[in-house]
Structure 1
Amino acid sequence: MPFSLADVTLIVHELWPLSGAEDWDAPGLVSGDPTHSVTSIHLAVDAVSATVDEAVERGADLLLVHHPLLLRGVTSVAEDRYKGALLGRLIRADCALLAAHTNADVVVDGVSDILASRLGLLDTRPITAGVAPGTGIGRVGRLPERTSLDRLARRLADLLPATVSGVRVSGERDAVVETVALCGGAGDSLLAHPSVVAADVYITADLWHHPASEAREQAVHSGGTPALIDVSHWASESLWLEPAAEQLRAALPGITVTCSDLRTDPWDFVIVQ
């Protein structure tokens, strides 16, 4: 059964409904002719030159990414600017571009749900409630067995693809942890949420100095929790790609769905002092 880009877009929005997206977000179809046939889809976290080249070289009809290329407003897609150059490359190759961002974060089997599942968390629930039962930003749950903060951080390091920034931890190494709150991607906006404050540890990405420092100072003042674990933004979301691909394969029989394993974390090396 042939599928058009319009058909595929409809399926994508059934799997990851646009109603679940945050108000500031820009998911959906970025470029491509809705009437064109789609026989292959390539998934990546980011639309960057390496993943665009990969999709084109594979002959993909659609590049489905997590992060919207045009999240922030632009006034030009001239090809002397990288976003215009990427779109031009995709258009000339008849490869459409579609993004599923916060609408893929909030759902069951979404970005945070997958990370919670891979950690083995039990009795999970969203940190913030979404429009449908069981949906929402982030997850909070409990580990099957208590462990130390150090061991949990090392488990994360083994679970996530390697990046030069590694896994950063704020808290006592031997602190006992059982309740875990997490948010794939940038989750500093949830640092003061009651479910996060009540957890033994909060796992997220892109923690800046001031929000992290203030959260830890408040934690020390209030009893020591939550500890903080800061991981790579890209790494925390990359675990979603293969489960998302499986969902697409089930919903779109006959279409080839592949996942990028390219590291699109922006950091290339670190100097240890």
Structure 2
Amino acid sequence: MTKTKITNKNVFAAMERLAPKSLAYDWDNVGLQVGSFSTPVKKIMVTLDVLEEVVDEAIAKNVSLIIAHHPLLFKPVKQLNTDKPHGRVLHKLLQHNITVYAAHTNLDIAEGGVNDVLCEKLKIKNTKVLIKERTETLYKLVVYVPQTHQEELREVLGKAGAGHIGNYSHCTFQTMGEGTFKPLKGTNPYIGSQDKMEFVPEVKIETIVQESLLNKVLAATIATHPYEEVAYDIFRLENEGKKYGLGRVGTLEAELSLQEFSSLVKKQLDIPGVRVTGDLDRPVKKVAVLGGSGEKYIRAARNAGADTFITGDMTFHTAQDAWQTGLAIIDPGHYAEKVMKEAVVQYLENEFRENGIELLASTANTDPFTFI
């Protein structure tokens, strides 16, 4: 069997299914950073940062595409000076035809992204969004289909992502009825003849669709439906859709002391140490997590009922204020976001399992700090 040729564009599309660019903050720079959409892909490397050590590793391992969490191009480039680190990085990437793509705040916010991976590793359950940024709009899709094709269409709708309510999929409602139409000149009807009124036993199928999946579901519907012209209605709903936002808050499987939980964080995130505020003997039950720099969300963690907040880059006075209000802080550093490497590699392996693409996580250490 001939394998489908995969280009950067295909990989970018897969990444945007995981972490839609629409979720990113408007100040962020996500997506293609350097390179081309059309370059064929054979080997992909996932990294937290795009430093020179990472680019050298990519060159040595014959990587053509780097997927990064932290954008390489965050501020406008005013000078490409190859005597300086940033200039050398860009020069090497272009010289060796290596493309760079970044998923940053969109990967922080996305379901299955950085914060969900952190919660999974730390055994934090029953999670909810910590800082809500947006709620996805829901639509009702109503499609009229011949009774002979209703089962096929229902299955296609479900596979495309329609009809998801909580932990249930393929949710639809059917009403039997009779459809009428008269094919006019120039038509090629599936049922009936030109200039003759037709009466067909039909089913009205109603289902719910997330805004992000609406175009995909419509395309699948039209491709499957037997009619030359598909009759359907779309209604915007007031029902509250999925919440998206930064951070997560949830509960531990079993209560631990702050000392025990801090040790678990250190072990599970494979880091040399953590900074902790609070009584080490106090119990930890409800935990807020925000990968990267989260000190400005102290109040959100406290308002969510968390007794402990895990985030990086805490400054002295902010940590002191949290400590005085009774909120314990565990600071594993910004580099704890490296958990995204393994998660993204696994996701892309599942997406391109049949296409012979090699995936690897960068082994370069991009943490600027050393614990002594």
With structure 2 as the length reference, what TM-score do the two structures score? Answer: 0.67
Q: What is the match of residue 188 of structure 1?
A: 295
**CA distance, structure 1, for counterparts of residue 254 and residue 7 of structure 2:** 48
**CA distance, structure 2, for counterparts of residue 154 and residue 269 of structure 1:** 16
What are the Cα deviations for residues 11-45 of structure 1, in whole angstroms up to 9, with x where unaligned? 22222111111122111101112221111110010
When Rg is computed on C-alpha atoms for both structures, the one with the higher figure is: 2
What are the Cα deviations for residues 189-223 of structure 1, in whole angstroms up to 9, with x where unaligned? 21111555621100011111122222223x1xxxx
Unmatched segments (≥5 aa) in structure 2:
137-241
**CA distance, structure 2, for counterparts of residue 73 and residue 205 of structure 1:** 26
Q: Secondary structure at the match of 1:124?
A: strand
**CA distance, structure 1, for counterparts of residue 301 and residue 11 of structure 2:** 39
Q: What is the match of residue 244 of structure 1?
A: 344
5 Å-filtered alignment, 1:1-273, equals 1-131=4-134, 132=136, 133-163=242-272, 166-193=273-300, 198-217=305-324, 219=325, 224=326, 226-234=327-335, 236-252=336-352, 253-270=355-372
TM superposition shift of 1:130: 4.1
Please identify, of 71-80 and 141-150, the stretch whose mean Cα deviation from structure 2 is larger: 71-80
TM superposition shift of 1:144: 1.2
CA contact (8 A) 2:44 2:360 kept: yes
CA contact (8 A) 2:130 2:304 kept: no
Q: Secondary structure at the match of 2:309?
A: strand
TM superposition shift of 1:104: 0.7
- RMSD of aligned Cα (Å): 1.6
What are the Cα deviations for residues 227-261 of structure 1, in whole angstroms up to 9, with x where unaligned? 00111211x21112112111111222321111013
**CA distance, structure 1, for counterparts of residue 323 and residue 304 of structure 2:** 10
CA contact (8 A) 2:258 2:280 kept: yes
Q: Percent identity?
A: 33
TM superposition shift of 1:54: 0.8
Q: Give the direction of change, closer, same or farther, for the CA distance of 1:17–1:241 in structure 2 (3 Å limit).
A: same
CA contact (8 A) 2:63 2:98 kept: yes
Q: Give the direction of change, closer, same or farther, for the CA distance of 1:248–1:134 in structure 2 (3 Å limit).
A: farther
**CA distance, structure 1, for counterparts of residue 93 and residue 129 of structure 2:** 36
Q: Secondary structure at the match of 1:88?
A: helix
CA contact (8 A) 1:127 1:195 kept: no
Unmatched segments (≥5 aa) in structure 1:
none
**CA distance, structure 2, for counterparts of residue 197 and residue 211 of structure 1:** 18
Which structure has more strand as a fraction of its residues? Answer: 2
CA contact (8 A) 2:126 2:251 kept: yes
Q: How many residues align?
A: 261
CA contact (8 A) 1:190 1:196 kept: no
**CA distance, structure 1, for counterparts of residue 9 and residue 351 of structure 2:** 14
CA contact (8 A) 1:127 1:196 kept: no
CA contact (8 A) 2:322 2:328 kept: no
